[in-house]
């Protein structure tokens, strides 16, 4: 059975939305994106509802969606946007990053940046101004990799660890469950 790349799982989690859902296809080892409205219509059609009418590229997408519905047992749903933000809170990741800093003035400036609306942009801008933006990106990536790895393990999705992340000494191509 093909393994999914951990980086692909991370990207799918990071790009989740209200209109599209991402699934790990256990047969191909790929991430599959599905339009939620089409997925529901395909289910309804299988249950006897009238066939949805699409033209052009939407008709092709709908046919692909129907084939996915027919083999849903091969798919594992990745967390949707709301579930993801409950389980993996980007604001808390910023707070955790601040706590790793040794420089008190940097910590203080970043805590101030987190206050109020627009905190994410201010935080990132302040990291750049302080010369620690690459440290922030590495920390954020490690945090998301740890979350994605845990999700894969909890959902029995085999993956290839193509990301050096929290708790890993190096990147490897060995499948992990």
Is 9 within 8 Å of 25 (Cβ atoms)?
no
| Per-residue pLDDT, 164 | 59
Which portions of the chain are predicted below pLDDT 70?
1, 164-177
- Radius of gyration (C-alpha) of the chain in whole angstroms: 20
pLDDT value, residue 16: 76
Q: What is the 3-state secondary structure (H, E, C) of the chain?
A: CCCEEHHHHHHHHHCCCCCEEEEEECCCCEEEEEEHHHHHHHHHHHCCCCCCCCCCHHHHHHHHHHHHHHCHHHEEECCCHHHHHHHCCHHHHHHHHHHHCCCHHHHHHHHHHCCCCCHHHHHHHHHHHHCCHHHHHHHHHHHHHHHHHHHHHHCCCCEECCCCCCCCCCCCCCEEC
What per-residue confidence (pLDDT) applies to 177? 46
Task: Give the Cα separation of 83 and 86 in Å (integer).
Answer: 5
pLDDT of residue 45: 79
Judge whether 31 and 4 are in contact, CB under 8 Å: yes
Residues 6 or more apart from 149 whose CB is under 8 A from it? Answer: 6, 159, 161, 165, 176
Residue 51 vs residues 45, 48, 70, 101, 174: alpha-carbon distances, Å: 6, 8, 15, 57, 44
pLDDT of residue 61: 83
**What is the pTM for the complete model shown?**
0.77
Question: Would you state the pLDDT for residue 67?
Answer: 83
């Amino acid at each position: 059975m093909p393994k999914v790349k951990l980086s692909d799982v991370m990207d799918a989690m990071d790009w989740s939305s209200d209109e599209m859902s991402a699934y790990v296809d256990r047969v191909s080892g790929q991430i599959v994106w599905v339009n939620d409205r089409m997925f529901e219509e395909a289910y309804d059609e299988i249950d006897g509802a009238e066939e949805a009418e699409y033209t052009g590229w939407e008709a092709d997408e709908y046919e692909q969606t129907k084939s996915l519905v027919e083999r849903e047992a091969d798919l594992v749903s990745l967390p949707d946007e709301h579930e993801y933000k409950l389980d993996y809170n980007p604001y808390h990741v910023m707070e955790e990053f601040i706590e790793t800093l040794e420089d008190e003035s940097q910590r203080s400036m970043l805590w101030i940046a987190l206050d109020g609306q627009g905190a994410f942009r201010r935080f990132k801008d302040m990291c750049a101004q302080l010369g620690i933006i690459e440290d922030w990106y590495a920390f954020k990536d490690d945090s998301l990799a740890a979350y994605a790895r845990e999700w894969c393990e909890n959902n029995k999705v085999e993956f290839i660890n193509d990301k050096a992340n929290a708790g890993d000494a190096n990147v490897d191509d060995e499948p992990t469950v």
